[in-house]
Structure 1
Amino acid sequence: MEFTGFPVAALDFYDDLEVDNTKSFWEANKAVYAEQVRAPMVALTDALAPEFGEAKVFRPYRDVRFAKDKTPYKTHQGAFVGVGPATGWYVEVAAPGVRVGGGVYEVSGDRLHRLREAMVHDKAGKLLQRILRDLERGGFEVAGERLKSAPRGYDRDHPRIDLLRMKTVLGMRSYGFEPFVHTVELLDRVREDWRKLRPLVSWIAEATS
C-alpha cells in the first residue's frame, strides 16, 4: 500500500473512541481502525524504513493489569523505530492529529548512569546542549521526565543541572490536524523532522551504549 496521508476518518475514529472506549464500539469499528488507522501507519513506516529502519507499530490494546484506568484501548496509534533500548524515532496519530518525536523515553540503572556521565562530560554535555537548542530553535519541544532536584551524587550547581535532572530526553513536534496530514506531504514532513532529530537520537544511543 502506498502512503497517501491519514484520512480524516482516522482522527474521527479516535474522537469517537475517547467518548466510547468499549469493546462494543471497537468491535463495531474494527474495519475503520484496520483500514483508516493501522494500514496508513504501516504504509508510512514502510516508506521510511529504507532510511531509518523497520518500525514497530504498536498494538491498540492497553495493559490494564495494574492500572486504575481500565479502559481497554489506546486513544492513539503509535509507531517506533529503535536504534537501542527505548531510543529512536516516533510517530503518532490521535484525535488531536499527528505528532513526531525522537530521543529516549525510558532509561534506568546503568544506562541512566551512563547518560548522566555523558551530560557531565564537558565536550559531550555541551554538544547535547547545542543539539537541544537547535531543535528548539527549529520549532521542536524538548520534553521528558524531570527530577525536581539534582540527582543523587551530582552538584545542584552544576552548569548543566537542567540536563542532569532529565530522566528521559525527547524532541517532539505536533502537526495537529493541518491539512497536509491527510496527504502524501506528511511523509516528507516526517522524514525531514526525523532527520533533524537524528543528532539527538545518535547522541543518546552512543551515550547509553
Structure 2
Amino acid sequence: MGFTGFPDEAFLFYEGLEADNSKTYFARHKQLYEDAVRAPMLALTDELAAEFGAAQLFRPYRDVRFSKDKSPYKTHQGAFVDLMPAIGLYVEISAAGLFTAGGVYSTASDQLARYRAAVDEDLSGKPLEAIASTLVAEGYELGGERLKTRPRGFEEDHPRIELLRHKSLYAGMRFEPEEWVHTAQVRERVERTWRACGPLVEWLCTHVRGSELPRR
C-alpha cells in the first residue's frame, strides 16, 4: 500500500498517550499504534527514500535510565535519514501535528570543534549565515542545544556569535494537524521542507562530518 496520509486515529492515539503514558494504555492500543502510526510512517519514508535515502524509524520506548521523567513512551513517532552520524533529515508526528527538519542533532567534541572553526572562518561561516538567514526568512525555526553565553575563545561581538553558541543546529517547520495530514499531501510537505534544509545539511556534512573519535 502506498502512503495516503496519517489517519485521525494517529493523533487520537498520541492525545491518549499524553494523558496516560502507561504500559497499560500502550498495550491496550498497540495495534492502533501499528496501524495508524507506524505503518503510515513506514509507507511515507519508503516513498521518500529514492530521493533522500532510507530512514530509520525510532522505537516508541523512552530510555529512562538517566532521566527523572520515568514515563515509558515517547509522545511522538520520529524517523531519521542518517546522512552522516547525527547529521540528516527528520520527520515526526505527534498530537501537535507534523514536524520536519534537517541538521545535526548532537555533536562529539571533535565535531563541535570543527563546527566552531568553520563558523569562525569567513570563507565557510558566511555561507552558513546566509543559509540560516534564508531558512528563517522562509519560516523555518532554528533549533538545537545552545550555550547561554559565548563559547570560550570567541568574543561577544563576533559577527556570527549566535551561530557559534550552537552545540547542535537544525532548521525545522511545524504543521498543525489540519485536513491535509490525512492525505498524500504530507509527502509533498516533507519533500519541500527537506529540500529547503538541503543546503544546511550539505554544509554540515562538509564541515562537521561524522565524529572521528574512537568508540568507547
| Fold shared by both chains (TM-score > 0.5) | yes
Counterpart of 2:4?
Answer: 4
Deviations 1:85-126 (A, max 9, x none): 111100000010111001011013111000000001102111
Counterpart of 1:181?
Answer: 181
Q: Which residue identity lines up with residue 63 of structure 1 in the other structure?
A: D
Q: Which residue identity lines up with residue 131 of structure 1 in the other structure?
A: I
Q: How many residues are aligned here?
A: 209
What TM-score results when the alignment is normalised by the length of structure 1? 0.98
Counterpart of 2:89?
Answer: 89
Counterpart of 1:56?
Answer: 56
Identity %: 51
How many angstroms apart in 2 are the aligned matches of 1:153 and 1:130? Answer: 23
Counterpart of 1:112?
Answer: 112
Q: Decide which moves more: 57-66 or 137-146.
A: 137-146
- Deviating beyond 6 angstroms after TM superposition, the runs of 4 or more aligned structure 1 residues are none
Pair 1:135 & 2:145 matched? no
How many angstroms apart in 2 are the aligned matches of 1:166 and 1:200? Answer: 14
Structure 2 segments unaligned to the other structure (5+ residues): 210-216
Measure how far apart 1:152 and its partner are: 1.1
Measure how far apart 1:156 and its partner are: 2.0
Q: Decide which moves more: 77-86 or 145-154.
A: 145-154
Pair 1:15 & 2:15 matched? yes
Deviations 1:39-87 (A, max 9, x none): 0000000000011100010000011111111111110000000111111
How many angstroms apart in 2 are the aligned matches of 1:134 and 1:157? Answer: 22
Pair 1:155 & 2:155 matched? yes
Pair 1:46 & 2:46 matched? yes
What TM-score results when the alignment is normalised by the length of structure 2? 0.95
Question: SS at 1:101's partner residue?
Answer: strand
RMSD between aligned residues:
0.8
Q: Which residue identity lines up with residue 169 of structure 2 in the other structure?
A: V
How many angstroms apart in 1 are the aligned matches of 2:69 and 2:141? Answer: 28
